[in-house]
Amino acid sequence: MTLIDFHTHNPKAEKNVFHVTNFDYFKAPSLSKPKGSYTIGLHPWWIEKAGSNWPEELIKIYSDFYCVGIGEIGLDRKCMVDFEKQKKVFAIQLEIAKKLKSPFIVIHCVRAYNDIIEHLKESSFEGNIVFHDFAGNEEELKALMKFRCFFSLGWRLYKSEKVQEMIKKIPVGKLFLETDDQLDYSIFEIYHRASELLNIEQEKLAKELVQNYEILCQ
């Protein structure tokens, strides 16, 4: 049984776990490239830290064989970076993802689902879209299901009643699980919790999510 940790900042040496690491290059360019598969993107939090040539840097890193997608990118109404600037940077990255034919992008979204939907409508990006740490409501889920969206959940499965209910509304064929940047819950615990909430055997759930990843990368 292979478990996919769809979005992590701290990949551990874990047996039978396939990690998709978020390479935090624009936060700390001194970081060395992760082992295994990873994604690259300019996160809204680090916009001020990235030099003016960040689009070229991003494209260069993306050309690496182990770079599987663009992310995390997105919009965050809770962070200090000017929102208009965030929108500009997000639009540029959608454009880059389209040009590079990235099979998927990973989205960071805080209280900005409608803005993201507006961007998706305007963009002609044709790949898949994964909302990591999805915390939207049912209406937002419905609106996003009109696009090629997937939803990744993690630690909130233990902490938020809203997310515990949300996982039951997301079709299993649109689901991923992740550890993100926290260290309190391992990917094993998160799969355990998800299978409990969904009332699906862990092995079956794991197989479904492997299939989802294959579809995502097509």
Dihedral-angle region of residue 101 (phi above 0 means left; psi in -120 to 50 means alpha; beta otherwise): left
- Give, as one character, the DSSP assignment of residue 32: P
Question: Rounded to the nearest whole angstrom, what is the least distance from the CB of residue 49 to Zn ion in the complex?
Answer: 16
Order the strands of the 17-23 sheet from edge to edge.
3-8, 17-23, 38-40, 67-76, 104-110, 128-132, 149-153, 175-177
- Helix, strand or coil for residue 10? coil
Question: Rounded to the nearest whole angstrom, what is the least distance from the CB of residue 48 to Zn ion in the complex?
Answer: 18
Question: Rounded to the nearest whole angstrom, what is the least distance from the CB of residue 9 to Zn ion in the complex?
Answer: 6
Q: Which residues are near Zn ion by CB under 5 A?
A: 180
The total of other beta-carbon atoms located within 10 Å of residue 1's CB is: 11
Alpha-carbon distance 92 to 111, whole Å? Answer: 20
- For residues 97 and 130, which CB has a smaller minimum distance to Zn ion in the complex? 130
- For residues 5 and 180, which CB has a smaller minimum distance to Zn ion in the complex? 180
- For residues 76 and 200, which CB has a smaller minimum distance to Zn ion in the complex? 76
Question: Rounded to the nearest whole angstrom, what is the least distance from the CB of residue 97 to Zn ion in the complex?
Answer: 17
- For residues 130 and 205, which CB has a smaller minimum distance to Zn ion in the complex? 130
